[in-house]
Amino acid sequence: MKALILVGGFGTRLRPLTLSFPKPLVDFANKPMILHQIEALKAIGVDEVILAINYEPEQLLVMTNLGIKITCSQETEPLGTAGPLALARDKLVDGSGQPFFVLNSDVISEYPLEEFIAFHNAHGGEASIMVTKVDEPSKYGVLVMEEATGKVERFVEKPKLYVGNKINAGIYLLNPSVLDQIELRPTSIEKEIFPQIAEAEKLYAMVLPGFWMDIGQPRDYIIGLRLYLDSLRKKTPSKLANGPHIVGNVLVDETAEIGDGCLIGPDVAIGRDCVIESGVRLSRCTVMRGAHVKRYSCVSSSIIGWHSTVGQWARVENMSILGKNVNLYDEIYCNGGVVLHNKEIKSDIMKPDIVM
Amino acid sequence: MGSSMEEKVVAVIMVGGPTKGTRFRPLSLNIPKPLFPIAGQPMVHHPISACKRIPNLAQIYLVGFYEEREFALYVSAISNELKVPVRYLREDKPHGSAGGLYHFRNLIMEDSPSHIFLLNCDVCCSFPLPEMLEAHRGYGGIGTLLVIKGSPESASQFGELVADPVTNELLHYTEKPETFVSDRINCGVYVFTPEIFNAIGDVSTQRKDRATLKRVSSFEALQPATRIPTDFVRLDQDILSPLAGKKQLYTYETMDFWEQIKSPGMSLRCSGLYLSQFRLTSPQLLASGDGTSIAIVIGDVYIHPSAKVHPTAKIGPNVSISANARVGPGVRLMSCIILDDVEIMENAVVTNAIVGWKSSIGRWSRVQAEGVYNTKLGVTILGDSVSVEDEVVVTSSIVLPNKTLNVSVQDEIIL
What's the DSSP call for residue B346? T
HSE-up of residue A266 (Cα within 13 Å, Cβ side):
10
CA B337 to CA B318: how far, in whole Å?
8
CA angle B137, B142, B146 (to 5 degrees): 70
Q: At what angle do helices B96-103 and B195-216 cross, to 10 degrees?
A: 110
* Local structure of B352: helix, strand or coil: strand
Quote the pLDDT of residue B2: 44
Query: Which of the pair, B172 or B2, is modelled with greater confidence?
Result: B172
B22 and A342 within 8 Å at the Cβ level: the answer is yes
**DSSP character for A352?**
S
Contacts of A354 in chain B (CB under 8 A): 413, 415
Minimum-distance CB partner of B415 among A16, A342, A343 = A16
- Cα(B339)–Cα(B354) distance, integer angstroms: 8
Cβ contact A340–B398 (<8 Å): no
- Comparing A326 with B217, the larger pLDDT belongs to A326
Instruction: For B24, name the nearest residue in chain A, comparing CA atoms only.
Output: A356
pLDDT tens-digit profile of B330-376? 999 999 999 999 999 999 999 999 999 999 999 999 999 999 988 99
Q: Do A356 and B398 touch (CB under 8 A)?
A: yes
The arithmetic mean of pLDDT across residues B206-227, rounded, is 59
Comparing C-alpha atoms, which of A134, A207, A125 is closest to residue A164?
Answer: A134
pLDDT at B6 > cutoff 80: no
What is the C-alpha radius of gyration for chain B, rounded to an integer number of angstroms?
23
Cα→Cα distances B144→B125, B170, B191, B200, B252, Å: 16, 9, 5, 15, 7
- Other beta carbons within 10 Å of B397: 22
Q: How far is B224 from chain A (nearest CA, A)?
A: 17
Q: Classify residue B389 by burial, with Cβ atoms within 10 Å: 0-12, 13-18, 19+.
A: middle
Please report which confidence band the pLDDT of residue B305 belongs to, taking 50, 70 and 90 as the band edges. very high
How far apart CA B88 and CA B74 sit, in angstroms, is: 10
Instruction: Write out chain B residues lying below 8 Å of A340, CB-based.
Output: 22, 25
A343 has pLDDT over 80 = yes
Cα B102 from chain centroid (whole Å): 22
**Quick one: which H or E segment has residue B386?**
none
Q: Is the pLDDT of residue A202 over 90?
A: yes
Quick one: how many helices (H) and strands (E) in chain B?
A: 10, 31
Q: What is the mean pLDDT of chain A?
A: 92
Contact yes or no for B100/B198 (Cβ under 8 A) = no
Nearest CA to CA, how far is B25 from chain A (Å)?
6
- Separation between Cα atoms, residue B156 and residue B216, nearest integer Å: 39
Please indicate whether, in this complex, the C-beta atoms of B415 and A9 are within 8 angstroms of each other: no
80-99 of A, contacting B, C-beta below 8 A: none
Residue B309 — very low, low, confident or very high, per pLDDT cuts 50/70/90? very high
Residues of chain A found within 8 Å of residue B18, distances taken between Cβ atoms:
342
Confidence of residue A37 (pLDDT cuts 50, 70, 90): very high
> How many other C-beta atoms can be found within 10 angstroms of the C-beta atom of residue A321?
25
Considering CB atoms only, which of B19, B402, B415 is closest to A354?
B415
pLDDT digits (tens, 9 = 90+) for B394-409: 999 999 999 999 999 9
Q: Residue A77, Cβ neighbours under 10 Å: how many?
A: 8
Q: Which of residues 14-43 of A touch B (CB under 8 A)?
A: 15-16, 19
- DSSP E strands, A67-165: 69-74, 100-104, 107-109, 127-133, 141-145, 152-157
Q: What is the pLDDT of residue B1?
A: 43
**pLDDT, tens digit, for every residue of A2-16?**
999 999 778 899 999
CB B4 within 8 A of CB B193: no
Q: Is A340 on the interface with B (CB under 8 A)?
A: yes
Looking at chain B, the whole-number percentage of residues with pLDDT higher than 70 is 91
What residues of B are in contact with residue A356 (Cβ under 8 Å)? 22, 25-26, 398, 413
Task: Name residues whose C-beta falls within 8 Å of residue A140's C-beta, 6 or more positions apart in sequence.
Answer: A134, A158, A167, A168
Compute the nearest-CA separation of B298 from chain A (Å).
Answer: 35
User: Nearest Cα to B159, choosing from B71, B61, B240?
Assistant: B240
Q: Which amino acid is at A308?
A: S
Cross-chain CB nearest to A354 (options B401, B402, B413): B413
Segment A272-294, tens digit of pLDDT: 999 999 999 999 999 999 999 99
Q: How many helices (H) and strands (E) does chain A have?
A: 6, 31
Interface contact A19-B413, CB threshold 8 A: no
Strands A166-174 and A100-104: antiparallel
Q: In whole numbers, what is the pLDDT of chain B averaged over residues? A: 89
The Cα angle at residue A267 between residues A261 and A270, in degrees rounded to 5: 65
Of the candidates A215, A193, A216, which has an alpha carbon nearest to the alpha carbon of residue A81?
A193
Nearest CA of chain B to the CA of A139: how many Å?
Answer: 18
Task: Give how far B415 is from chain A: nearest CA, Å.
Answer: 6
Q: Is the pLDDT of residue B218 over 60?
A: no
Burial class (CB in 10 A: 0-12, 13-18, 19+), A144: middle
Cβ–Cβ < 8 Å for A276, A294: no
Strands B184-192 and B143-149: antiparallel
Contact B103, B14 (CB under 8 A): no
A322–chain B Cβ distance below 8 A for any pair = no
Q: Rounded to an integer, what distance in angstroms lies between the CA atom of residue A239 and that of residue A226?
A: 15
The pLDDT tens digits for B23-61 are 899 998 889 999 999 999 999 999 999 999 999 999 999
Closest CA in chain A for residue B22: A356
Instruction: Check residue B215 and give its pLDDT.
Output: 54
Q: Out of B19, B398, B402, name the one closest to residue A12 (CB).
A: B402
Torsion (CA) A320, A325, A327, A332 in degrees, nearest 10: 10
pLDDT (0 to 100) of residue B122 = 92
The lowest-confidence range among A154-163, A302-311, B23-32 is A154-163
Lowest-pLDDT range of B43-52, B201-210, B307-316, B330-339: B201-210
With CA atoms as reference, the chain B residue closest to A217 would be: B415
Nearest residue of A to residue B399, measured between CA atoms = A12
Residues A136/A142/A148/A151 CA torsion (nearest 10 deg): -170
| Gap between the Cα atoms of A19 and A21, Å rounded | 6
State residue B248's pLDDT score.
92
CA B117-B118-B121 angle, to 5 degrees, is 125
How is residue B33 annotated by DSSP? G
Minimal-distance CA residue of chain A relative to B23: A356
Residue B354: which H helix or E strand, with range?
Answer: strand B349-355
Q: How far is A148 from chain B (nearest CA, A)?
A: 41
Separation of alpha carbons B403 and B216, rounded Å: 60
How crowded is the C-beta side of A177, counted as CA atoms within 13 Å? 9
A216-241 pLDDT, tens digit each: 899 999 999 999 999 999 999 999 99
Nearest to A310 by CA among A225, A290, B18: A290
Pairwise CA distance, residues B159 & B186, whole Å: 5
The reported pLDDT for the residue numbered A336 is 96
Whether the predicted pLDDT of A1 surpasses 50: yes
By Cβ distance, the residue of B19, B26, B402 closest to A356 is: B26
Task: Give the pLDDT band of residue B3 (cuts 50, 70, 90).
Answer: very low
Q: Residue A11 pairs with which residues in a beta bridge?
A: none
Cβ distance of A342 and B29 shorter than 8 Å: no
Whether chain B has a CB inside 8 Å of the CB on A356: the answer is yes
Identify residues of B whose CB sits under 8 angstroms from chain A CBs.
18-19, 22, 25-26, 29, 398, 400-403, 413, 415
Q: Is A76 exposed, middle or buried (0-12, 13-18, 19+ CB in 10 A)?
A: exposed
Q: How close A69 comes to chain B (CA, Å)? A: 30
Q: How far is CA A21 from CA A32, A324, B27, in A?
A: 10, 9, 19
Q: Measure Cα distances from B324 to A342, B344, B386 in Å.
A: 33, 12, 16
**Tell me, what DSSP letter sits at residue A208?**
P
Question: What is the Cα Rg of chain A in Å?
Answer: 21
H runs (alpha helix) in B8-67: 45-51
